[in-house]
Structure 1
Amino acid sequence: MNEKKVLLIDDEVSLQRSLTMGLLQKGYQTESCENGMNGLKALEAFKKKQTPLHYVVLDVRLPDIDGIKLLKVIKFNYPELPVVVITGYGSESTAADARSEKADAYLEKPFTIDELTKILEEIPEKASSTDIAEKETAEASEGKAVSAYVLLNFSETANLSDVYQEMYFMDHVLYCDAIKGDFDMAVLLQAEKLSELHDLVEDKIKKLPGVKDICFMAVESPLLPESVNNIIGTVDKALGREKGNPETANNANFWKSASSYVFLEIEKEKLENIYPTLYVNEQVVSCDFTKGKYDIVLLMQGASFAEIDRNIQNKIKPLDGVLRIKESPIIKLFEM
């Protein structure tokens, strides 16, 4: 009898062991992943090798990405692949969220192997992951824009409200924010050529009243394996992220919450592991690899600054290869 394959995404080691052994006795072969990013990598590997995968068992709470968001990404890329959502923190709202994102089943911990296998057997057999056509991820390279961050410091006498209004309406300014920390303002620029952005800085931004220091950081595409780039592209599409689109950062819901820029210095040889983990972090709105003072620029959003701080301390600071972190909360100019 051919064993059916199960991908288990759960960071609880004891559960991985017990489910792997229990499912094996029931005729299922299990591959375990301890976080969401590794789960997406495993799915990519199954597809690339054309290895049939029959089920995903997915925990709601993962160390790097919210399980419901991961469910959305999986169902976006593999709509016919059955996913069973499991959780030790069950609630009606969690169950409703799982159903709304097309989970095939929902199971609260603790549960027995018999309960899990009964659910797997009751799910109608669908196409395996390798039977599903790959979604197109390639985008036309024609007209691809270039971007850069500019961090600014101003003199104490500068009128930041006036400067902000003048900069906001400049050509090539995607968005600008007043921030706390080592700098007073963060600006994201975009144009067809990098030289246009350098000219803007020299001809206009440096001449703004009260400008003291300018830090220019060009956004670059990180050199990552094709499989990781594919994952990042599909995460963008599944979660509605648009590269270089300011609408996410400018919508009303964004400004009702706390938002911060987070600047990272890293060991660049460890970028392959650091960058995708940051990219799927549930509070990261955008993640850019940059050349200049900092290596990575994050825009993070949370219910409060304390929540963002906890995320930084618990999920970003412990990452192997992260050397230094600077957080700059975004502030409303009328609060200054």
Structure 2
Amino acid sequence: MLILGNADVRHVLDGKDFEVLNAVRHAYLEHARGETAVPESVFLRFPHSARDRIIALPAYLGGGEPVAGVKWIASFPGNLAAGMDRASAAIILNSTDTGHPLCVMEGSVISARRTAASAALASATLQGAEPADGVSLIGCGVINAEILRFLTVVHPELRQVTVFDLDPGRAEAFARRCSAELGVTASVAGHPDDALAAHPLVSLATTATVPHADLRACRPGTLVLHVSLRDVTIGGVLDAVNIVDDRDHVLRAATSAHLAEQHVGHRGFIQATIGELLLDGGDHGRDPRRVTLFSPFGLGVLDLAVADMVLRAARRDGLGVDLPDFLPVRAPAGHTG
């Protein structure tokens, strides 16, 4: 079995944003075709720490070269105050022939980049009336940093960025980093409504557990990438055109969409999945009079698609540490010793 650490994974993925986008697109298309198996994610929570959680996302991605495995990802927001990353993860890939584990790899980079690629792919699919030359980012962490980078890949004209975070110092530092690394002009909003109103493209990537944004400050025709899933109020969800990655998955675990379903007693407010739109092809312009809300629960097949890309490159380039004796050695047939 192969062990790949963070440096190995970054070695493969750095400079490969288009390849990551294509891997995520492939996973969404296979999911829309019914060529995947995505059981419900399992949430491990702790009795005295409501914000902390570890989630298991098992999945199978079909197609010409099928992949199976699981992502085990922890989110501990308190790590930030200690100078550590909020999220950490490991991904295990298994053989679809024998079930044997093939690889264990560090998964936080894969998780962040597949999330960002998913958001960027949605923004490229759900086009607005005007070019996407600006974006508002609410939540100044790793995920929105990756989302901004992937947005500049699919929208090379994007040059204006407005950011907001509950920690003003963090927002200022984030804005400076965006300007320095991506050559964009970044400014800090003093209130979340100011950020929502600044551009017709918004990304919400926070650690919120209770809905707080009704989206009324957004311009008509705005696309909101609701990556953190629990920011938008029930009214905000029901007023929007709703696109998700999977209806069954997003309507659970107290997401904003789940709360909206409980409120109205049905899921008819969800118009489509991103996979259905990609499979359909053609142009999918946004409603110019309403907010479009993209709420991706985060399917394990996205992690598998990118992890498989990493594993193939790692084998080709001789990366990682191989443990040939990881599994028990089976005695030859007839051996009685």
Bigger relative CO (Cα 8 Å, ≥ 6 apart): 2
| Greater Cα radius of gyration, structure 1 or 2 | 1
TM range (shorter): under 0.3
| TM-score normalised over the length of structure 1 | 0.25
